[in-house]
Structure 1
Amino acid sequence: MINHLLISSQNYFSNNPLDRLSPHRPNIDLDKVLQPESSTLIVPIWQGKHLASTQEPARVVFLSVADAQPLVQKPEHLVFLGKRGGHDYFAIDIQEEDPTTNPFWQKLGTFESLRSLGKIATLAEGAILGYAQAMVYWHKTHQFCGRCGTATKSDWAGHVRICQNPDCGRKHFPRTDPAIITLITYQNQGLLVRQPQWEPKNRFSLVAGFVEPGESLEEAVQREVMEEAGLEISHVQYQSSQPWPFPGSIMLGFRAEATHQNFQLIDQELEAARWFTRGELKAAAASKEVLLSPKMSISRMLIDAWMKETE
């Protein structure tokens, strides 16, 4: 039996080390865990970016509650992430701050994109940052009730937003959007594709797309491959998954065998596609003819796993 849990845990943004303490969220005593002398750690997020030290060695920076005053006095901006080693972790959206001009933030470091921090963040830190970023984004995009349009308010330590209309009172919970990503093979070849907006122009990845209502994951794979590459497939097989906080998806990785190799770029989402043998792809990547997806992506994980197999 394939250990999908083990495989997925090796994907970046996965294997979060925090105990989420889900049943306790409605009863978390914010006054207690946010005392200046507490061991709580704060994960600040500004415009989707995270704090990193500018001093060597470069590292991700989490703040103590004492350092984060008076930010923690705004509980509506706080999201409880979980507990680890005696530390409670909270994300906070500092959207009202300007770290580029504020000396307080300048002495601590700079705010960097999550993708760029992949070079210095540990796997555990990456999982925490990805979780924090997805939650902050969810709060930003659910300020109003989808049922009646009234403003919502954060509760349960940031894990629910409640409509403030007394005649509605709908509870809105965090959601994640499922998307499939597929390595298509034909005999000893794998299909790599590129979208026109990807930079640089030699970057290639895999066929991917969101799961639509009323279809299984396997049907989503089948549809996306046909829509984007005009290929019929068989033997769809799940590989692993990855939380993808850009802005809030779960990537579901698959392998699928094409019934033929005559692809057609049907829906114009792709500007190029190309079959590679393992040897051809290795040579193209080495010569920089092809730039593969970043190592933090499940796309790269799927490609690398295929490359390690024998012909």
Structure 2
Amino acid sequence: MEIPAEEELIGPLLLARSAVDRSAALRDDDEWLKRAWADDRSRVLVIHEGRTLVRRTGDEFAIELLGPAEAPPGPHYLLGVGDGGVAYFAVSAPLPGQGEPQTRVFNPVSPGSVPEDRAVALGLRRAGALLGDRDAGLLVYAVALEAWHATHEFCPRCGSRTKIAGGGATRLCPRDASTHFPRVDPAVIMLVHDDEDRVLLARGPNWPQGRYSILAGFVEPGESLERAVIREVAEEVGVAVTSPRYLGSQPWPFPRSLMLGFFTRAVTTEVRCDPHEIAEARWFTRAELADALASGEVRLPPEVSIARRLIETWFGEKLTGDW
């Protein structure tokens, strides 16, 4: 098959969108941060365990943004500056007006299942495909920062409790003066195709029957992205591949991954699954995949994932049949 260019991906990489400048030059300006936090025009996203409040008005979805004076107490982080000089922050705190049962149980399966004109707690996997560019970018950043701050309260060098600095972009150790930055774990995710123009889809050992995706794995220390693609495919399904071609990337902050998408061509097609990694893997032609989706035999990753975009790009059109 002819491998598409990055700009030919079918549909946007939904978690790679953004419309707010992260404004790194302002993070260490304490006076500006104080003024921005006191400015009634500033907007605050409340984040709690990866969820925020989302409101539907007609066919439009938006994050419930508050003014600084309305925001609940909690550590806050600068997300950036948008149109008109409006500063955006995230506050890590329980979501206003959300009881515990609704926060944990609400699990919409379609946009229409989100009640209109009432804010509900949604995580990024659900909300990412519903939100516009500005709000999707804000939520991805807020989820990533919240997860990092929650798990990096102590200095890895001396064990002292660190302090938030740089508008939430760093943590400082008061004992040894070391500065710590958010960790990002690069992971390759690759669509494997063969000379018969088939795609290889696989199911994880803990996934239910019918749930399929493409292969993925973390980049190891001292390893290039291309070598990681070749190694991971060989380890997981025993297939040799060549000529990895990069198509695009998007953050996947669960808790801190960056997914780097590739197409790669198989030079062997016999599948030998590592049972610790893969329960089963199958080759599909386009017709076979279309039939399996129509019958419900196969379900694909959600629209918000880069895996879905790579599969649809290989297929040549949008597909249905989410997990």
TM-score range with shorter-chain normalisation? 0.7 to 0.9
Cα deviation for residue 174 of structure 1 reads: 1.4
1:39: which partner in 2?
41
Question: 2:28: which partner in 1?
Answer: 26
CA–CA distance in 1 between the matches of 2:21 and 2:56?
Answer: 30
- Is 1:49 aligned to residue 55 of structure 2? no
What residue in structure 1 maps to residue 141 of structure 2? 131
**Alpha carbons of 1:123 and 1:204: their partners in 2 closer, same or farther (altered >3 Å)?**
farther
Measured in 1, the distance between the counterparts of 2:20 and 2:69 equals 22
CA distance in 2, matches of 1:154, 1:52: 27
Q: How does 1:142-221 map to 2 (within 5 A)?
A: 142-165=152-175, 168-187=176-195, 188-198=197-207, 200-221=208-229
Residues 96 and 45 of structure 1: is their aligned pair in 2 closer, same or farther, counting only changes over 3 Å? Answer: closer
Per the alignment, in what secondary structure is the counterpart of residue 265 of structure 1? coil
CA–CA separation in structure 2 for the residues paired with 1:45 and 1:8:
31
Rounded to whole Å, the distance in 1 between the matches of 2:203 and 2:55 is: 34
Cα displacement (A) at 1:156: 1.1
> Contact conserved, 2:210 with 2:299, CA < 8 A, in 1?
yes
Q: How many residues in Structure 1 have an aligned counterpart in Structure 2?
A: 295
1:130 to 1:274, Cα distance in 2 relative to 1, 3 A = same
Q: Secondary structure at the match of 1:34?
A: helix
Counterpart selection for 2:257 from 243, 249, 261 = 249
Match of 2:283 in 1: 275
> In structure 1, what is the Cα distance between the partners aligned to 2:26 and 2:36?
13
Shift of 1:61: 1.0
Q: Residues 46-79 of structure 1, C-alpha deviation per residue, up to 9 Å, x if partnerless?
A: 12111123776654211122321x52xx5xx111
Q: Which amino acid aligns with 1:27?
A: D
For 1:93, the aligned partner's letter is S
What is the deviation of 1:299?
Answer: 0.2
Q: What is the alpha-carbon distance in structure 1 between the residues aligned to residue 145 and residue 90 of structure 2?
A: 8
Residue 123 of structure 2 aligns with an amino acid whose one-letter code is S
> SS where residue 70 of structure 2 aligns?
helix
TM normalised by structure 1 equals 0.87
**Is 2:268 aligned against 1:265?**
no
- Alpha-carbon distance in structure 1 between the residues aligned to 2:92 and 2:165: 15
Aligned residue number for residue 98 of structure 2: 99
Alignment of 1:89 onto 2:88: yes
The residue type paired with residue 311 of structure 2 is I
Q: Would you say the 8 A contact 2:43–2:66 is kept in 1?
A: yes
Structure 2: stretches of 5+ with no match in the other structure: 101-116, 318-323
Q: For 1:162-185, what per-residue CA distance to the aligned partner results, in whole angstroms no more than 9, with x for missing partners?
A: 0121xx111001121100001011
Identity %: 38
How far does the alpha carbon of each residue in 1:235-290 deviate from its partner, in whole angstroms, 9 at most, with x for none?
11111111112111110001111112101002521101000011111221122110
Question: In structure 2, what is the equivalent of residue 284 of structure 1?
Answer: 292
> Within the alignment, does 1:141 sit opposite 2:151 as a pair?
yes
Q: Describe the shift of the 1:63–1:96 C-alpha distance in structure 2 as closer, same or farther (beyond 3 A).
A: closer
- Residues 171 and 179, structure 2, Cα contact 8 Å, conserved in 1: yes
Report the counterpart of residue 63 of structure 2 in structure 1: 60
Alpha-carbon distance between aligned partners in 1 of 2:6 and 2:130, rounded to the nearest angstrom: 26
Structure 2 distance, partners of 1:224, 1:248, is 19
CA distance in 2 between counterparts of 1:113 and 1:6 reads 28
Aligned to 1:17: 19
User: Structure 1 residues 307 and 5, CA, compared in 2 at 3 Å: closer, same or farther?
Assistant: closer
Pairwise CA distance, 1:195: 0.4
Matched letter for residue 90 of structure 2:
A
**1:119, distance to aligned residue in structure 2 (A):** 4.8
Q: Is the 8 A contact 2:129 2:304 kept in 1?
A: no
Greater CA drift, 262-271 or 222-231:
262-271
Go from structure 1 to structure 2 and tell me whether the alpha carbon gap of 1:294 and 1:9 turns closer, same or farther (over 3 Å shift).
closer
Q: For the residues of structure 1 that align with 2:306 and 2:152, how far apart are their CA atoms?
A: 28
